[in-house]
Amino acid sequence: MGIRTYRPVTKSLRGTVSFDFSEVTKAKPEKSLTVSLRKAGARNNTGIITMRHVGGGHKRKYRLIDFKRTKLDVPGKVVAIEYDPNRTCRIALIHYKDGEKAYILAPIGLNVGDEVLSGDKADIKPGNSLKLENIPVGTIIHNVELRPGKGGQVAKAAGIMASLVSKEGKYCLVKLPSNEVRKVLSVCRASVGQVGNTDNENIKIGKAGRRRWLGVRPAVRGMAMNPIDHPLGGGEGVGKGHHPVTPWGQPCKGYKTRHNKRTNSMIIKRRNQK
């Protein structure tokens, strides 16, 4: 696993940094584990754009990832490490002994030929999945469930990891990648290890066209618009002193948008607490 730089034959290549894909062992995905992925251009069922700057991009097939890891006590073998265009980390193709196949997130240290297991008696090694109550305190984990049986919801991106801080009755304290400490039911599952592809943070796009391949369209600054198009638009020269807002006047850049009071009691330490 690594990155590659380029000889600056063109201006864009001077700053481009990309993957060398040395860890990828299989070029095409498993056909039985892929589904078609239609592009909607960030439009809802009525055709209204719900997110700006989204559209185009290369065609993709969606890989069905096993976030639940409910294949209990059946050992599986890592057959290949594959690239997934829908996420930042790599995925591992697992062949179970009963003939079933599945994709899981590939953590650091999981290689082709290794064996993975999901169950209460699984070893504490990368790729195995256990309930939090069966994982020792201080273990690095990822793909953590917040509700039993729903599947992993946090710590799934490239290079990300969470840690099991302590156990208190039917709850476990988990420190998330954002430094937030949260109570999670001890019967929730998590996978052992840190998510792989840690070099993802070192990637430099290099040119605008590469962003378009990813489905990201150009974004225009509000200050460059007319007053009818944006609250920050218009004016003679460069205007300063505005509070950053969306085109519809909602504050942004630091404006709190969390309204889920139901789970406030589960947060022991907030990510922005000093």
Tens-place pLDDT, residues 6-32: 999 999 999 999 999 999 999 999 999
Dist. CA 163–CA 235, nearest whole Å: 50
Tens-place pLDDT, residues 155-183: 999 999 999 999 999 999 999 999 999 99
Dist. CA 81–CA 111, nearest whole Å: 7
Q: How far is CA 131 from the centre of its chain?
A: 21
Kindly state the tokens that stand for 198: 């840690």
Q: Is the pLDDT of residue 239 over 90?
A: no
Architecture of domain 220-274: Irregular (4.10)
Kindly state the tokens that stand for 259: 């309204």
Whole-model pTM: value is 0.91
Percent of the chain with pLDDT over 90: 89
pLDDT at 274: 65
pLDDT at 177: 94
What would the DSSP string read from start to end of the chain? Answer: --EEE---SSHHHHS-EEE--TT--BSSPPGGGEEE----TTB-TTS-B-STTB------EEE-B-SS---BT--EEEEEEE--TTSSS-EEEEEETTS-EEEEE-BTT--TT-EE-BSTT--SSTT-EEEGGGSPTT-EEESEESSTTT-EEES-STT--EEEEEEETTEEEEE-TTS-EEEEETTSEEEES-BS-GGGGG-B--SHHHHHHTTBPP---GGGS-TTT-TT---SS----PPPB-TTS-B-SS------GGGGGGEEE-TT--
pLDDT, average across residues 73-91: 96
Kindly state the tokens that stand for 272: 């922005």
In 3D space, the residue among 102, 86, 105, 82 whose CA is nearest the CA of residue 94 turns out to be 102
Q: Which residues contact 147 (CB under 8 A, 6 or more apart)?
A: 153, 185, 188
In 3D space, the residue among 39, 18, 127, 143 whose CA is nearest the CA of residue 83 turns out to be 18
Tens-place pLDDT, residues 93-144: 999 999 999 999 999 999 999 999 999 999 999 999 999 999 999 999 999 9
Kindly state the tokens that stand for 72: 């209990």
pLDDT-based confidence at 273, cuts 50/70/90? confident
Dist. CA 143–CA 82, nearest whole Å: 18
CATH T-level fold of 3-201: OB fold (Dihydrolipoamide Acetyltransferase, E2P) (2.40.50)
Q: Is the pLDDT of residue 235 over 90?
A: no
Q: Domain limits of the chain? A: 3-201, 220-274
Percent of the chain with pLDDT over 70: 99
Q: Do domains 3-201 and 220-274 have the same CATH topology?
A: no
Q: Is the pLDDT of residue 1 over 90?
A: no
Tens-place pLDDT, residues 41-71: 999 999 999 999 999 999 999 999 999 999 9
pLDDT-based confidence at 258, cuts 50/70/90? confident
Kindly state the tokens that stand for 152: 């992993």
Q: Is the pLDDT of residue 240 over 80?
A: no
pLDDT at 94: 97
